[in-house]
Each structure stands twice: as structure tokens, then as C-alpha cells.
Amino acid sequence: MENLDLTVLRALRDWRVAGKQALLVTVVRTWGSSPRPIGSIMALCADGAVIGSVSGGCIEDDLIARYAHHGQGRSADALPRSSAPQWAKYGVTAEEAFRFGLPCGGTLELLLEFDPDAAQLSTLVKTLEAGRLVQRQVRLADGAVSLHPLDAPAELVVQDDSLSNCFGPEYRMLIIGAGQMSEYLATMAQFCGFAVTVCDPREEYRSSWQVPGVQLLTTMPDDTVAAMQPDGRTCIIALTHDPKLDDLALLQALESPAFYIGAIGSRRNNAARRQRMMEHFEQTEASLERLRGPVGVYIGSKTPPEIAVSIMAEVLAVKNQVALPKAVDIAHVKDQQAVAAAGSSCTL
């Protein structure tokens, strides 16, 4: 599936190019619990079409009523069809929080941009389609927009006279190996907004691949990693169990800023992999610190789809900078189970 921001911006561009009035809504601040993070966007056309999300749906409904339906008879609530950017805040009172479905009294503040410039939107979409990172700066006085290239992702910034939001290329996942588990993981990753590439030089595995929308490559995995030029929005996962395919690719990945690098395998297989890399490729514990294995979180998974869920959960946690507790670390749980089993056998 395509990056959600790009999907929203492309639809907004098309509406504006067609001469339709439209609204761009950005989540600017949140307090307490919030359904969508800061920087989330949605677009609303004057005919009522909407794409993207800033909440669980109730705020979207309110904005549609106030803008597309022009207040549904409540002129005091109606939003203008053209204006300088405006602020909107939801959930300030307990009654509003209940009305708009905000959890635990959450509050969010939105910036509403009326009729964004079609030419600027076209330039922004082309930049994102080319895989480049860009900062979109909105002047609050009149809605004028400027675009600035970025070398690294940046947080949304609100200043007295402007708002700056960072848009970038999709998160990417490279899966090494085209087996059954790769199909499940690729499907989940696409639904989570990742652009997925699968690499497998083995024809017997590639011939049965059935997941549409995935780039399927036949090149050697280490060459594929080098050609992809992984960045901080890239994750690389080896699923072949074949050292000839996995090891060199993982070593190549460790030279990149990829946010997640891991390989499937038991604790014993992962220990053997690390030992090979230290003995034959001059690696150290420090240089292998970013190599994850066994990959995934512990959910008692045994089947390929459940293992894929486990891996995807860990990838998303790392992407979202969530520190996972020891209770879901596969190696830790397995070690504890082994100790408990040994203790039980000794008491028999």
C-alpha cells in the first residue's frame, strides 16, 4: 500500500487541479490521549469527499458538516470556503471529548488550510514520488507555502508566523527470501504502509510468489542491499536460513543507517551466525549490536502467519521508538523456559 501522506496529498492535488475547493487539515498539537499523532493530515473536498484521518471519525464528520455541508444549517459553525489558515481545537471540555470520541479526555489542535495552491501541491507530490524528503512550510498570515529539501526527517514545528511539516518517502522493507513466511510478512508490511521488496535468487522459491504490489528481485541479497542504499526509513529482514544468502546481506546492511536489521532463526542459529561473522568477517560484539535475532516478539507463535505477526510487531515497535520489555524478548523468554525445564527435570 502507498504511503498515506502521499495518497492524501495526491488526492488533494487532483481536486485543486480540477478547480475544486478543498481543505488540508493537519494535527498540530495533542494533549492526553489522541487517536492520531502530530503531523497527521487529511484532505476534505467541498463536495464531501475525504481522505486521510485526524481522529477516529467523529472530528472528520464534524469538519465535513461545517465545510462541505456548510454547517448543515448551523451558520455559526460553518467554515469559510476560502480564508487564511485557521486553528481548530477539539476536546477542550469533557462534553466535547465525549462528543468527538476522544479517549481519556484527549484534546487535539488542528491547522486548517483553505484551497492550497495546486502548483505547489504538484511540486510536492512529484518530490515525494521521486523518493526525496521535504519540509513544507506554511505562512500563517496568508497560507503561502514554501518547500525545502531535507537530509533527515524532522518533527513538526509551530512558530509564531509559520508551521513546518516534514514529508518523506515511504518506509521500505527488504525481505531476503521468497518463502511462505515472506508472503505473510510482505502482506502485513504493505498494509502498514511499507514499500516492500523481496529478493531471492532461487527460482524454486520465486516461482510460487503470490503477493501483488511487491517488487520481486533475482539479484544476490548483498548486491540488492547495496543497490537499495538503505536509509533511516528502511528495514532489512533475512528469512532464508541460508548463510550464503543471509550473512553477506546482513553485513552490508549493518554498514547502513537502516532502522531495523534482523534474521530469523533459533537462539542457537543466531549465535552461530554471530560467531561466523566474528571469525570470518572481522566483526565484533559492538559491530553486531544492531543485528537482531531471533527476530520478533514472543507471542508463542509457531505457524508462519503468527511468526510474521511477531516480526511485524517488533519492526513497528522499533520504528515507533517503543522500548520492548524483556517479557516479549524471544531469547529472554526461551532462556527462562529452558532454565525452568531444567529445574523441573532435576526435581523428578
Closest CA to 211 of 224, 227, 194: 194
Residue 133 resides in a domain: no
- Structural contact between residues 84 and 142, judged by C-beta atoms closer than 8 angstroms: yes
**What is residue 93's predicted lDDT score, i.e. its pLDDT?**
60
- Structural contact between residues 263 and 293, judged by C-beta atoms closer than 8 angstroms: yes
Q: How far is CA 207 from CA 169, 179, 180, in A?
A: 30, 10, 12
Whole-number Å distance between alpha carbons of 106 and 95: 11
Are 84 and 216 found together in one domain? Answer: no
Residue 134 resides in a domain: no
Whole-number Å distance between alpha carbons of 30 and 21: 27
- Structural contact between residues 334 and 300, judged by C-beta atoms closer than 8 angstroms: no
Domain end marker among 127, 148, 182:
127
Are 196 and 249 found together in one domain? Answer: yes
| Average pLDDT of the segment spanning 169-185 | 92
Task: State yes or no: pLDDT of 348 exceeds 60.
Answer: no
Tell me which residue range forms the domain holding 296.
Answer: 172-333
Whole-number Å distance between alpha carbons of 214 and 203: 16
- In a 3-state reduction of DSSP, which class is residue 240? coil
Rg, the chain, Cα only: 24
Lowest mean pLDDT among 68-77, 212-221, 261-270: 68-77
Task: State yes or no: pLDDT of 12 exceeds 90.
Answer: yes
323 Cβ contact list (under 8 Å, min separation 6)? none
Residue 160 resides in a domain: no
Q: How confident is the model at residue 46 (pLDDT cuts 50, 70, 90)?
A: very high
Residue 139 resides in a domain: no
Which single residue is written with the C-alpha cell 505477526?
A: 309
pTM of the shown model = 0.70
| Average pLDDT of the segment spanning 321-344 | 79
| Domain count along the chain | 2
Quote the DSSP letter at residue 206. Answer: H
Task: State yes or no: pLDDT of 125 exceeds 70.
Answer: yes
Query: What does the pLDDT look like over 298-318, one tens digit per residue?
Result: 999 889 999 999 999 999 999
Residue 147 resides in a domain: no
Are 327 and 179 found together in one domain? Answer: yes
Q: How confident is the model at residue 157 (pLDDT cuts 50, 70, 90)?
A: very high
Closest CA to 169 of 153, 157, 154, 156: 153
Are 254 and 311 found together in one domain? Answer: yes
Whole-number Å distance between alpha carbons of 5 and 125: 10
Please report, for the domain that includes residue 185, its CATH number.
3.40.50.720
Cβ neighbours of 255 (radius 10 Å): 11
- In a 3-state reduction of DSSP, which class is residue 106? coil
Domain end marker among 127, 158, 183:
127
Residue 75 resides in a domain: yes
Across all residues in the chain, what is the average pLDDT?
Answer: 88
Are 122 and 26 found together in one domain? Answer: yes
**What is residue 271's predicted lDDT score, i.e. its pLDDT?**
93
43 Cβ contact list (under 8 Å, min separation 6)? 8, 9, 11, 12, 15, 22, 23, 24, 25, 50, 51, 52
**What is residue 108's predicted lDDT score, i.e. its pLDDT?**
84
Whole-number Å distance between alpha carbons of 136 and 157: 10
Are 201 and 328 found together in one domain? Answer: yes
Are 211 and 93 found together in one domain? Answer: no
Identify the top-confidence range among 76-85, 151-160, 194-203.
Answer: 194-203
Are 123 and 181 found together in one domain? Answer: no
> What is the percentage of the chain residues whose pLDDT exceeds 70?
90
Are 42 and 185 found together in one domain? Answer: no
Q: How confident is the model at residue 61 (pLDDT cuts 50, 70, 90)?
A: confident
**What is residue 164's predicted lDDT score, i.e. its pLDDT?**
97
Residue 348 resides in a domain: no
Task: State yes or no: pLDDT of 291 exceeds 70.
Answer: yes
Quote the DSSP letter at residue 152. Answer: S
Q: How confident is the model at residue 32 (pLDDT cuts 50, 70, 90)?
A: low
**What is residue 90's predicted lDDT score, i.e. its pLDDT?**
85
Are 258 and 119 found together in one domain? Answer: no
Are 196 and 326 found together in one domain? Answer: yes
21 Cβ contact list (under 8 Å, min separation 6)? 45, 46, 81, 82, 114, 115
| Average pLDDT of the segment spanning 51-74 | 79
Q: How confident is the model at residue 273 (pLDDT cuts 50, 70, 90)?
A: very high
β-pairing verdict for 234-238 and 22-31: unpaired
Strand partners, 215: 197
Domain end marker among 98, 127, 156:
127
**Cis status, amide bond into 294, omega within 30 of 0:** yes
Q: pLDDT higher for 261 or 326? A: 261
- In a 3-state reduction of DSSP, which class is residue 343? helix
Lowest mean pLDDT among 84-98, 105-119, 162-176, 220-234: 84-98
Which single residue is written with the C-alpha cell 460553518?
A: 78
Q: Which three cell numbers stand for residue 188?
A: 502485513
- In a 3-state reduction of DSSP, which class is residue 275? helix
Residue 155 resides in a domain: no
Are 76 and 178 found together in one domain? Answer: no
Task: State yes or no: pLDDT of 70 exceeds 70.
Answer: no
Q: pLDDT higher for 85 or 4? A: 85
